[in-house]
Amino acid sequence: MYTKKVFKARDMAKWTRYETFLFFIIITVVVAIYYFFDLEWLKIPWTPLALIGTAVAFVIGFQNNSAYGRIWEARKIWGGIVNTSRTFGMFVQDMVSNEHTEIELSKEELQHEVKTLTYRHIAWMTALRHAMRAPKPWETVTQEKTNREWTNVISPPERTSTVEKDMEPYLSEQDIEYVMSKNNKQTALLYLQSHHLRSLKEKGIVWEFSFLEIENVLQELFTLQGKSERIKNFPYPRHFATLNHYFMWIFVLLLPFALAPQFAEIGQEISETQPIFGDLFIWLSIPFYIMVAWVFHTMERIGRTGENPFEGSANDVPISTIARGIEIDLRQNLGESEEEIPAQFPVIYDTQM
């Protein structure tokens, strides 16, 4: 447990090392100006700066709460996809039968229909996760250098493959051709599911009441898909995110001009009893400034990285892992062997994809 905590603290320090070094340069320059050039007049009163800091803290808190709300909603949506997918798999296996058919199908033919519906559902999850990982203009997390470094180590599988390639094992050539001709591929797959079920109903392979039950499941999948697409396609309002970023930097850049004079005044008082320590006391403002600036900047950055829960960063919803987990469950319940079922995506540095 201790080793894990130290490792994560080290990762956080590495993640923000460029900004921390910049804070060190800023405060060192300001302190050097005060110390060597004796510019005591160049200072900002604490009252207006405290008001700015308070406002920035409130806005950062609002941003982080909103970002976490988007992440949590996305996780609940994909939790719903997990449960609805299991229900769909159960319904298909139990409701596709010869009970109401005029011409009975063989066991192999029934199993083929079940497998086709199940595999098409896996293809739907594949298309949905690819759509959720597609880059948007407002998704800028990977533009930062340290985030790109992390992405080079841990990258979602959707970035190294195509949706067509990933869907091929689950669909017929005709279905692939139909789906790839549509912009919204996941919607096209649910349409195919409904058409297939109607065909089975007309043949008596699916009872009319069972058909309605499975259609309700498809309706729920449409609802969950729409909720997921809503989060993906509607960004966190940019006027909140952008202004918050600017306000944070205004506060961070102004803070040295209030902090350094304050430490200089304290040093003058100390100089009456300890001249050397009092003369150098202003330099202690450097670590204090770095700590304050680091906290404000890191909290603001955490909020920015959580705005888009499907972007593919380390703290996003692991939709690839969730989708693969559902696939494993469905295919195991089809009676497939472990050799036939793909393995779960690996967990790298305690991070799911």
Cβ 322 vs Cβ 310: under 8 Å: no
Q: Are residues 230 and 244 in the same domain?
A: no
- Asked if 67 and 306 touch (Cβ cutoff 8 Å), the reply is yes
Q: Do 231 and 293 share a domain, yes or no?
A: no
**Position of tokens 């406002």?**
55
Are residues 60 and 296 in contact, defined by beta-carbon separation less than 8 angstroms? Answer: yes
Predicted structure pTM score: 0.87
Residue 9 has pLDDT above 90, yes or no: no
Summarised one tens digit per residue, pLDDT across range 105-148 is 899 999 999 999 999 999 999 999 999 999 888 777 776 776 77
pLDDT at res. 264: 86
Spatial separation of the C-alpha atoms in residues 264 and 274, rounded to whole Å = 14
Is 184 a member of any domain? yes
- Residue 213 belongs to what domain range? 77-236+319-345
Report yes or no on 169 lying in a domain.
Answer: yes
Same-domain pairing of 167 and 278: no
